[in-house]
Amino acid sequence: MIKAGIVGGTGYTGIELLRLLSQHPQVELAAITSRQEAGTAVSAMFPSLRGRVSLSFSHPDKAPLKNCDVVFFATPNGVAMGEARALVDAGARIVDISADFRLKDVAEWERWYKVKHAAPELVAEAVYGLCEVNRDRIRGARLVANPGCYPTAVQLGLLPLVEAGAVDLDHLIADAKSGVSGAGRKAELKLMHAEASDNFAAYGVAGHRHWPEIRQGLAQAAGREVGLVFIPHLTPMIRGIHATLYGRITKELDFQALYEKRYAGEPFVDVMPAGSHPDTRSTRAANVCRIAVHRPRERGERGDTLVVLSVIDNLMKGASGQAVQNMNLMFGLPETAGLEQVSVVP
């Protein structure tokens, strides 16, 4: 059995990890940390886990994390980079769900996150955990940087086109919407029910931290820098991301076949039949990305703009589900172990 620890077990990604790991056939939960809730039984805070998780929250300084085989950081940005070195040196492997190790350019990371990086020497070693791209490298990794939720949906949606050089790489557009859980489990005015419900708004238009992460992944796939306009929006739902992606066609291909071939055999990417319109509900509580490819008509003719719809659950394929998928690869387990849940409808 794999002994797993979770740093930051009371946020939404931490709760989701608890749900998934408590059902995983090859995992033993060994430690769950929380500074504020130390000593509190997990099941007392989250009754959904009664009979599943018998642990209490531990203070991070007292938790037996160094005895774990794998440690998940479900923490705000800036925590993992301060604690990762000691755990790696102790022999634990790490899956960081925060953004601490996602960007390879440390100076750029510091510009976006407004703090000096505490472990730049680990950035080069960290493997970006988009399984559909870096599967082989993830298997041997000691430290995996779990992708962000928006970057997961956008990259999976655009990768086949970028890899094939089939669209104008200087003018890609990602118009993405997220449920409120993507902002984390915190008290904030804009996330209150009376503020977020029956409302819809863009944010971060001038620049969002996920923009350099998405560009980094797409540039790697393209073998050159790419131009990307990325606009996130907050929607009045709890879970889910819907990314509508636009690219100007530069090479004629059978785009449906391109996507089907690229993701053939991928257990968690579902390329839907031509003309489909995937919705967020079809991915709720499941570790899956559903993709549909469209070519709208322009002035009555077949247009030269391709539209890709990419939909995920931000807490599953966009965070904790993908983190477990990474862990499975790191420990030589079937990639789908503990992740075969069917989407919850309604």
Instruction: Indicate which residues carry an active-site annotation.
Output: 149
Q: Which residues pair with 293 in a beta bridge?
A: 308
How far is Cα 163 from Cα 80, in angstroms, rounded to an integer?
32
Q: Which residue has the tokens 């599967």?
A: 135
CA distances from 32 to 216, 221, 266 (A): 32, 36, 31
Residue 257's CB is within 10 A of a number of other CB atoms, namely 12
Provide φ and ψ at 164, rounded to 5°: -85, -10
- The token pair at 314 is 């931000």
Contact assessment for residue 128 and residue 138, using Cβ atoms and an 8 Å cutoff: no
Q: Which of 186-198 are b and which e, b meaning 16 or more Cβ less than 10 Å from the residue's Cβ?
A: eeeeebeeeebee
Stretch (H or E) spanning 242: strand 241-248
CA angle 332, 335, 340 (to 5 degrees): 140
Contact between residue 68 and residue 50 where contact means Cβ atoms under 8 Å apart: no
* Chain center to CA of 271: 18
Instruction: Sort 122 into a burial class: Cβ within 10 Å, 0-12 / 13-18 / 19+.
Output: buried
Tokens 């919407």 correspond to: 177
Question: What interhelical angle do 149-164 and 210-222 show, nearest 10?
Answer: 20
| DSSP class per residue in 290-317 | EEEEE--EETTEE-SEEEEEEEE-TTII
